Chain A
Amino acid sequence: MAKLTMIKAINQALDQELKRDKRVLVFGEDVGRNGGVFRATDGLQKENGEDQVFDTPLAESGIIGLAAGLAYQGFRPVPEIQFFGFLYEAMDEVAAQIARQHYRTGGVQNMPVTIRSAFGGGVHTPEMHEDNLEGLVAQIPGLRVVIPSSPYDAKGLLISSIRCDDPVVFLEHMKLYRSMREEVPEQEYTIPLDKADVKREGSDITLVSYGYMVQECLKAADELEQDGISAEVVDLRTVSPIDEDTILESVKKTGKVIVVQEAQDQAGVGGQVSSIIAEKAILSLDAPVARISAPDSVYAFSAAEEDWMPNKADIVKKAKEIVNF
C-alpha cells in the first residue's frame, strides 16, 4: 500500500485496466504523449502503445461519437472530456446516443463506455472549467454518474466503471486531484457502483453529499463533534441512479438531514435526494430536510469562488440550526 493522490490512483486504475483488457481504449485531447492536462494518463501511451492510448482532434462530439462507434465494434472506450464544462459540445452523443443505445436496440447493444472528465471549483480555473453539471447527466436514464470523493474510492470506482457494460460518466473533482493522499492498494480492486457509502457514522444528524463536499462534510463533522453533535456522513458515490436505501436508513436513524452539494441550488442532485427523503422518510424526520448548495448564479468569477462555494462553516452553521430545530 502506498499513500497516493487521486490523480495517481486514477492513473494506476487506467494502467491496470489497459493491461488487463486490450479492448480498453483511452483517448481524448492531449491524453497520449502529453499524459493529459492533469497527468491522469501520464505514461500510459508509452506503457500500453498508441493503439490503446491516443490523442484525438479537438472536438468533443467527435470524441464521444468515436467512443460509440468503437463500442459497436466490441471495444471498451474510456474517452476523456478535458473539462466537463465542454460537455455541451457532446451532449447529443452522451445523452441521445450512448445513454440510449441499450434501450434503443432492445437490449442487443451494450455500451461499455466510461467518460472521464474533470470538474469542480476551488482551483481558480478560467470560465467553463469548474461548473458542476452532474445534474444534467443525472437526469438521463441509461447513464450512471459516478463522483469519487477520495483517492481510494477513485481507483475502485473507476475500475468498476470501466468493467461495467453500461455507460458511466466518471467525474473527477479538480480540487481533489492533489489536495489529499490516502492509502491505496497496489493491486486491482473494485467498489460497487450504485451504492452509497457511510464515510463516518453518527447519530444526531445525517449529512448526504458527494464529490469534494464530502471532505467539507467530514471536516464539519469533526468540528460538530467538539460541540457534542454526532454527524453521520453519507457519500453518494454514484449520484445517478441514487442509492435510496443507504440514505433512508441513515435518515431514519438520525431524524435530521442536510443535503450538501457544490452545484447551484437549482442544479446538482440535491433536489432529487431531498425529494426521496420527503417521500419515503417523512415520518422519521423531526426537522425539515435542509439543503446547502451554491447560489443560483452562473459559476463565480474565479477571484471570488471561495466566497461563493459552500464550505465547512456553512455546514456547521446549518447543522446547529437543524439539530436545535
Chain B
Amino acid sequence: MSKIDLNQYMNQPDIQPIQVMNEKGEIVNQDLFPDLTDDQLVDLFKKMVWERVLDERSTKLNRQGRLGFYAPTAGEEASEMGTTYAMDKNDFLLPAYRDIPQLIQHGLPMYKAFLWSIGHYMGGQIPEDVQAVPPQIVVASASVQTAGVGLGLKKNGSTNVAYMYTGDGGTSEGDFYEGINFAGVYKVPAVFFVQNNGYAISVPRKHQTAAKSLAQKGVAVGIPGIQVDGMDALAVYTVAKAAREWASQGNGPVVVETLTYRYGPHTLSGDDPRRYRTADQEENWHEKDPLIRFRTYLDHKGLWNEDMEKDWEAQVNKEIDEAIEKAENAPKQTVADFYKLTYSQTPASIQKKIDELEKEEN
C-alpha cells in the first residue's frame, strides 16, 4: 500500500464549453450574448457564408488543378470567423495552414492566398499594412513566435494582441507548450486559439493527451484556459472578445479551445476521412452546422432570408472568380528570383550566380 494516494492529485480542472446559441438557433445564455448590433450580427454571418463558399470553390478549383495545397475549412466557420471578428485590424496574426480565411479577413488579398496555395512567392508577400505572417506549415511552430510578437508589442507600448491558431494535434508539440509558457512568463498580450476538430489527420483527440480538455493546458503555465462551443459563432465571438480584452489590458496570454469539426478531409492531398470517421459521426456534426443555427436565428429575427443569401453567394463567387484570374496572371517565377529572395543583402558568391542566370535569360 502506497504511503501517498495519487488519486487526490488527479483533480483535473472541470472545464465546460461556453455556449450562447444552441443547435436550433435558440439563445440559451442571454448573459453572454455579444454586444453586437443587428447589422454586425448579419455581417458576422455573411463572413461565415463567405468562408463556406470559399471552401466549396477552393475544393473545386483544387480538383480542376487551378489551386494547389488546400486544407478544407467547412464546419469551422464559427470558430474561424467568430475569433477573427473580435480582432483589431492592427492585431498580429500568425495563422496555420488551415487558417486562410482568417488571414484574408485580416487583410491578405484573396488572390495572394490563392498564389500561396499554388506555390508562388507572391503569395507570401503580405501587404505592409497587414499585421500577419504567411500560413505556418510546421505544426505549432508559430506558438513560440507568438510569444515573441507579443513581447515585441509590449516593448513597443502597443495595446494590440498577437494571435496564433493550431489544431488539437498541435497541442502535443513541444513548441506549443514553450510558446504559452514564454508568453506567460513575460505576461505578453497573446491569444492561443486551439481549434479542436477532433482529429489530427486520422488520430483522434483522445490519442493526443489524457487531459480532459485542451483549454486546461493553460494551467501548466499559469494562464487562463477557456473552452467554447466552436459551432456557435456568438459564443466564440464573446469568448474571443473577452480573451482579447484580457490580453490587451496587460493581464497576459490566454488559451482558447474551440470545439469544432471539419466536414472535409484533412487536406486535399489524398486524405480519406472515411478510413477513420463514421458516416454517423459526420451526420451528427452536420446537425451542429454553425451556419444552420445562425441562419435560423437571424431568420427568426427577420434579419436574413434565402434571397439575401443567394445574392451574397453570387457576390462572393464573383470575388473568387476575379481573385483566381488575378492569381493565374502572376508572373512566372525564375531561379534568379529564388536566389534574390534567399537573402536580403545578397552575398557576393550568390550575386555571381544571379548574374549568370540573368545573362542566360537575356
Interface segment among A206-214, A240-248, A296-304: the answer is A240-248
Point out the residues of chain B lying under 8 angstroms from A108, CB to CB.
Answer: 124-126, 128
Expressed in whole angstroms, the Cα–Cα distance for A165 and B141 within the complex equals 22
Q: Which of B338-362 contact A (CB under 8 A)?
A: 338, 340-345, 347-350
| From A72, A93, A165, A194, residue with most partner B Cβ within 10 Å | A72
- Given contacts A105-B134, A106-B121, A165-B345, is CB(A70)–CB(B148) below 8 Å? yes
Point out the residues of chain A lying under 8 angstroms from B124, CB to CB.
Answer: 104-106, 108
Q: Which of B298-324 contact A (CB under 8 A)?
A: none
- Given contacts A102-B344, A193-B347, A242-B349, is CB(A72)–CB(B121) below 8 Å? no
Residues of A within 8 A of B (CB): 51, 56-57, 59, 61-62, 64-75, 92-93, 96-97, 101-111, 141-142, 144, 164-166, 193-195, 238, 241-245
- Given contacts A92-B175, A166-B344, is CB(A65)–CB(B349) below 8 Å? no
Interface segment among B151-159, B202-210, B238-246, B274-282: the answer is B151-159
State the Cβ distance, B175 to closest chain A Cβ, in Å.
Answer: 6
Complex: chain A residue closest to B149, CB-CB: A69
Point out the residues of chain B lying under 8 angstroms from A66, CB to CB.
Answer: 144-145, 147-148, 151, 182
Expressed in whole angstroms, the Cα–Cα distance for A109 and B133 within the complex equals 9
Q: In the complex the two chains form, is B144's CB within 8 Å of A243's CB? A: no
Q: In the complex the two chains form, is A65's CB within 8 Å of B343's CB? A: no
Q: In the complex the two chains form, is A73's CB within 8 Å of B141's CB? A: no
Expressed in whole angstroms, the Cα–Cα distance for A106 and B116 within the complex equals 11
| From A62, A70, A101, A195, residue with most partner B Cβ within 10 Å | A62
- Given contacts A57-B181, A57-B185, A75-B155, is CB(A241)–CB(B344) below 8 Å? no
Q: In the complex the two chains form, is A68's CB within 8 Å of B145's CB? A: yes
Instruction: Report 13 cross-chain contacts, Cβ distance below 8 Å, ordered by A residue.
Output: A51-B155, A57-B181, A57-B185, A59-B182, A65-B175, A72-B92, A74-B152, A92-B138, A93-B141, A103-B342, A106-B122, A107-B125, A111-B344
- Given contacts A61-B175, A65-B179, is CB(A72)–CB(B133) below 8 Å? yes
Q: Does B174 contact A (CB under 8 A)?
A: yes
- Given contacts A59-B178, A74-B152, A92-B175, is CB(A103)–CB(B121) below 8 Å? yes
State the Cβ distance, A277 to closest chain B Cβ, in Å.
Answer: 14
Residues of B within 8 A of A (CB): 92, 121-126, 128, 133-134, 138, 141, 143-153, 155-156, 162, 174-175, 178-179, 181-182, 185, 338, 340-345, 347-350
Q: In the complex the two chains form, is A61's CB within 8 Å of B152's CB? A: no
State the Cβ distance, B226 to closest chain A Cβ, in Å.
Answer: 23
A73-B151, A101-B133, A166-B345 given; name 13 further pairs at CB < 8 Å: A62-B144, A65-B175, A70-B151, A73-B149, A102-B342, A102-B344, A105-B126, A106-B122, A108-B124, A194-B347, A194-B348, A195-B348, A238-B347
Point out the residues of chain A lying under 8 angstroms from B152, CB to CB.
Answer: 69-70, 72-75
Q: Give 7 nearest A-B pairs by CB, closest first.
A: A69-B148, A65-B144, A73-B152, A62-B178, A106-B125, A69-B149, A106-B121
- Given contacts A103-B121, A141-B342, is CB(A96)–CB(B144) below 8 Å? no
Q: In the complex the two chains form, is A93's CB within 8 Å of B153's CB? A: no
Q: In the complex the two chains form, is A69's CB within 8 Å of B348's CB? A: no
Expressed in whole angstroms, the Cα–Cα distance for A75 and B182 within the complex equals 18
Q: Among the listed B126, B148, B341, which residue makes an inter-chain contact with A68, where contact means beta carbons less than 8 Å apart?
A: B148
Expressed in whole angstroms, the Cα–Cα distance for A141 and B153 within the complex equals 29
Q: In the complex the two chains form, is A61's CB within 8 Å of B144's CB? A: yes
Q: In the complex the two chains form, is A103's CB within 8 Å of B338's CB? A: yes
Point out the residues of chain A lying under 8 angstroms from B149, CB to CB.
Answer: 69-70, 72-73
Q: In the complex the two chains form, is B181's CB within 8 Å of A59's CB? A: yes
- Given contacts A62-B147, A74-B152, A193-B347, is CB(A103)–CB(B341) below 8 Å? yes
